[in-house]
Structure 1
């Protein structure tokens, strides 16, 4: 719980291509918090139940991921970077950032990554219908959910500055 943590935990979420890893990495440099990229963690520690050929990604085992993270999250000082959020315990996070990107910008980013077919369509629809913002609002207290635009480098710089200020001024709840 946040009462025992000396540093905050931040979740950076959003549709793939919205700038989660870029934002989290810049935030880590500015704050010295620890970056936990869930996709990398799943691959490195084998925390999955196989491969989804249609979506071209691992099928993560959410229970294994949560078990792996529990101790680190209780310590605090983490920036978790992942496109989903509803399976993480609410008690873990002090701020949940949902990055949002204009559809044409996101489409260009995803096609440059090689996304096609169902993977491209699913991610575009996810952004259009604000699925991750709704997931965050349904999973966490609305007062810690912060939607941020992430269309340009200036947006990302502004987001990192805002979140850096927030992290520096964060106080544990009593």
Structure 2
């Protein structure tokens, strides 16, 4: 099974992916680390202090892999059986990103991105996944999110309405 997990920074991707990987006994790939290690980037963006991912190189890396979990901001670039989009109330973003040494500008940028569903919209529009799960993590513990994902993997429809603009 190929599972990809995406969402704005602070939605719980890494935490949820770690728990899910152990429960399903699937290898886990953190895309940020993978991009650096395998040189799957086009350039380094010094303004954002991040590598610009090369989508073709990323897809090529996963091309022959049959079973995995890949988590990261651009996980939706990878063809998968299930794409999981994690969401969180934008007001929680500063609190969740506090320990990451992000600049105030980067925190605000991520808060706005979540408010306007930038990652979620792109993921839904460009997804190569057979199924999409869309989950609000705001009031859930990571273990509860994983249990919901397992229900989705089992066939339950898991696509929650999320609109932070209302």
1:46-57 aligned at under 5 Å gives the runs 46-57=39-50
Q: Which residue of 1 is the match for residue 144 of structure 2?
A: 158
* Deviation at residue 143 of structure 1 after TM alignment: 7.7
Root-mean-square deviation over aligned CA pairs = 2.2
Q: Which residue of 1 is the match for residue 91 of structure 2?
A: 104
Distance 1:66 1:97 in 2: 17
Distance 1:143 1:155 in 2: 26
- Bigger helix share: 1
Distance 1:20 1:40 in 2: 14
2:21 is equivalent to residue 25 of structure 1:
no
Structure 1 contact 54–119 (Cα < 8 Å) conserved: no
TM-score, reference length from structure 2: 0.82
Distance 1:53 1:82 in 2: 19
Aligned counterpart for 1:39 among listed residues 19, 32, 35: 32
* Residues 143/70 of structure 1: CA separation in 2 closer, same or farther (3 Å cut): closer
Q: Which residue of 2 is the match for residue 87 of structure 1?
A: 77
Structure 1 contact 13–85 (Cα < 8 Å) conserved: yes
Distance 2:118 2:32 in 1: 19
* Deviation at residue 141 of structure 1 after TM alignment: 7.6
TM-score, reference length from structure 1: 0.79
Aligned counterpart for 2:119 among listed residues 128, 132, 142: 132
